[in-house]
Every structure is written in C-alpha cells, then in structure tokens.
C-alpha cells in the first residue's frame, strides 16, 4: 500500500508535516500544503509579528519551490502536446489548465480559459474562435491575423463545446479564405455526426468569406467539434478565422 505524502502530529493543533515525496511531480502540491499550514497557524494570532512571519514563510516557500514548479510546468507542456497530437483534446485541455494554475496565469487572466467556454445562452450562436482551437498535424495559429493556417492532410483542429448544448440541427457558418490553387475536402464532426464539404475558393488567401456551409446534427452536451481534411490540394486546405453554430430553428 502506498504511504501518504503527509502525516500529522499527535498534538491538538494537528498541523500537517511535509514529508519527502517519492514523486517529484507532487512537489508543488507539498509546497501548497506548507503554505496552508502557515496560514492556519497565523489565524490563531493576528499580531503584526506573526503576519510578517507568515509573509516571510510564503516568500521562502516560493523561492524554494521555484525550480520544482518550473520543471513541473515543462512536463505539463510536453504532456499537453502529446495528448493533442494523439487526438485527446480533453486531456490536453486539462494539462493546459493545470499548467496555467501552477504558473499563476489563471489568477491573472481569470476565467478566460479557451478550453473551458461559457455555457450556452439560448438564442445566441456558439462562436468557436481560431485562438481557442487545440491543434495537431502542423496547423499554426497566427495571432496577428487571428487565423489557423498551414492546413495539411494530417492537420486537425478541435474545439471544446460549451456546456448546456441542446440536441438538434445547427447551421455551420465558416469565415475562411482559400486561394484558387488550394483547397480540398473537409470534415466537420462532433461526437457522433459529421458534415462533409468541399472548400470553395475565396479568390485569394487575403480575401475572407463568411458562409453557411451546411447543417450538422449535434447530440445533447456534445463535447468536441473537430475540423479535419479529407483531401488537400495545392498549398493547404484553407485559412480559418472562426466557426459559428446557429440553431437551425432560426434563433441567431
């Protein structure tokens, strides 16, 4: 049986004691437990001296665990990429959120996590921006232009769908560009259903079109929407700015 990473003293304060972990990946968790112990101790006596001791302790813990947190973040980046390359976008999203939590980005950016969209609002379209996609197969997100490009035969982009999604038909509206010598066939699919369409030319890579390409049936609470290439010609399938899902009953 695996021993716990923590033990408690038999005295009445029951303060957790941090033990040496056999797994380096738990080091950030141990550091957080140390911070929690210090905060609990300081709560018994709110004197200025004790508050200063608590702050000094927290600063020291942050310094002592900096290397461990950095190593943990590097491992999470590697794990996120491996999961995304393997098509496990939900797992990649979890690794991404954990990395943001450890690095402190979640505190600075709040609930703007692209892997966790807000719940569906009745009567409004579901907007899937290029910046929120999980990518594999060489697709690149161009932040300056706000597009996904370099779409090859092996490329795929996936979006986590918002909670509260109702079952039914949704018109799929794309904003994209495609040069005459490029294009091919694409597949847009959710957990069960798929929509197959040819990519139309938009005159040039710099000329963007917005058009409903068809209706896709979605199951209730579908988790992922994925766009892949079935055939590619020339220099890529398309450049994509966004996808909008519009309820087929006319609510837009």
Looking at domain 126-247, its CATH architecture is Sandwich (2.60)
Can you tell me the mean pLDDT for 231-243? 93
Residue 6's DSSP bridge partners are: 18
pTM here? Answer: 0.55
Measured CA to CA, the distance from residue 181 to residue 205 in angstroms comes to 10
Can you tell me the mean pLDDT for 200-212? 93
Measured CA to CA, the distance from residue 21 to residue 25 in angstroms comes to 9
Q: What are the extents of the domains in the chain?
A: 6-109, 126-247
Give which of 192, 199, 142, 197 is closest to 176, Cα–Cα: 199
The tokens describing 141, both together, are 């997100």
Structure-model confidence comparison of residues 87 and 243, the more confident one: 243
- The confidence score (pLDDT) of residue 147 equals 95
- The confidence score (pLDDT) of residue 109 equals 37
- The confidence score (pLDDT) of residue 195 equals 96
Question: H or E element: which one contains 194?
Answer: strand 194-199
The tokens describing 134, both together, are 């999980």
Can you tell me the mean pLDDT for 176-193? 93
What are the φ and ψ backbone dihedral angles of 95, each rounded to 5 degrees? -65, -40
């Amino acid at each position: 049986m695996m021993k716990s990473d923590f033990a408690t003293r038999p005295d009445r304060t029951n303060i957790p004691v941090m033990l040496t972990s056999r797994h380096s990946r738990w080091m950030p968790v141990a550091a957080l437990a140390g911070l929690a112990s210090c905060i609990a101790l300081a709560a018994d006596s709110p004197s200025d001296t004790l508050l200063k001791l608590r702050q000094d302790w927290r600063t020291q813990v942050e310094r002592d665990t900096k290397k461990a947190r950095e190593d943990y973040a590097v491992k999470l980046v590697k794990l996120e990429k491996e999961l995304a390359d393997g098509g496990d976008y939900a797992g990649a999203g979890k690794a991404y959120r954990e990395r943001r939590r450890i690095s402190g980005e979640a505190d600075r950016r709040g609930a703007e996590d692209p892997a966790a969209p807000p719940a569906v609002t009745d009567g409004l379209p579901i907007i899937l921006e290029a910046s929120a996609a999980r990518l594999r197969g060489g697709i690149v997100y161009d932040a300056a232009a706000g597009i996904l490009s370099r779409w090859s035969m092996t490329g795929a982009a996936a979006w986590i769908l918002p909670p509260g999604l109702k079952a039914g038909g949704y018109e799929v509206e794309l904003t994209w560009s495609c040069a005459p010598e490029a294009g091919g066939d694409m597949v847009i699919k959710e957990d069960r259903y798929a929509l197959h369409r040819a990519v139309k030319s938009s005159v040039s890579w710099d000329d963007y079109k917005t058009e409903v390409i068809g209706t896709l049936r979605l199951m209730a609470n579908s988790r992922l929407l994925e766009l892949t290439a079935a055939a590619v010609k020339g220099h890529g399938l398309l450049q994509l700015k966004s996808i909008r899902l519009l309820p087929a009953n006319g609510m837009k």
